[in-house]
Amino acid sequence: MFRRTTRGFVIGGALSALAVGVSACSSSSIPKATEAPARASAESADPDHDVWTGEDLSTLLLSVGDLPKGKGYKVQKGYPVNSGTHFGGPFSKPVKARCEWLMSTTWSEASNVGPASYAGSYFANSAQDEYLEEIDSYRSADAWTAMDRLKKYARGCSTFKDTDGSPITVTAATKPLPGPGDDSLEVDMTSDVNTVMGHTAVVSRIGHDIIFSSCTDARSQAIQTAQENARKLATAVKAKTGN
């Protein structure tokens, strides 16, 4: 996987915050017992059942045309990236999650569950607004386990210090988000350096896949972009996987 830490919400323009109300959505730590026996049998016989390659996932990524118009976003050098045609294995050893990862391209490492494949991209403009996306595909019930752990991780990082550069204090408000997938979480972050800027990350599980949609911008715009593009990513994943 790849990680790019972003601090774009520390600087930039000024707009008033937009309050976005959300209600709780249902979740499950394991696949439902009502899933078809044939599917469960197939997953047992083939752990890569329903897993897509990184090259497959890359076709579902969003483009510049999906970002806010007139803001001059460009795909950054070296992106998009994907894991190719080979599937990865489980993490060799547990990692200790750091709250600063909330501001990175993906925080999937915080779950200590290795995805089988991934694809992601990174966009930015001259104002240092950023948009980051990733899709991770998991084996068997790993996506359910990963999502549960990611929620616990995010909720444990309500306030933290980011020391990548000049130290800043980040406040992170975590809440469930109805849609775009089976189980979705939104994290809205602000810093003590510039409270009008925001960094919003949406993480959503769609069947065996987990998507990350993350934006730094004026707070209202960051929330809107992260949410809207999470729904676009979810729609693309559902169309391909049937989940």
Q: Give the pLDDT band of residue 20 (cuts 50, 70, 90).
A: very low
Per DSSP, the three-state class of 185 is strand
Angstrom distances, CA of residue 30 to CA of 72, 98, 145, 210: 42, 25, 7, 14
Q: Which residues pair with 149 in a beta bridge?
A: none
- Whether 207 maps to a domain, the answer reads yes
**228-237: per-residue pLDDT in tens?**
999 999 999 9
**Domains: count for the chain:** 1
Instruction: State the pLDDT at residue 9.
Output: 53
- Whether 28 maps to a domain, the answer reads no
Q: Which domain holds residue 134?
A: 8-16+33-241
**71-116: per-residue pLDDT in tens?**
999 999 999 999 999 887 666 667 889 999 998 877 888 999 989 9
pTM of full prediction above 0.85:
no
- Whether 3 maps to a domain, the answer reads no
- Whether 24 maps to a domain, the answer reads no
- Whether 23 maps to a domain, the answer reads no
**144-160: per-residue pLDDT in tens?**
999 999 999 999 999 99
- Whether 26 maps to a domain, the answer reads no
77: CATH = 3.40.1000.70
Strand ranges in the chain using DSSP code E only, listed in sequence order: 74-75, 81-82, 117-124, 130-137, 159-162, 168-176, 183-191, 197-206, 209-218
Question: What is the average pLDDT across 186-194?
Answer: 94
- Whether 187 maps to a domain, the answer reads yes
- Whether 73 maps to a domain, the answer reads yes
| Angle 39-181-136 from CA coordinates, rounded to 5° | 70
CA dist., res. 118 & res. 131, Å (int): 17
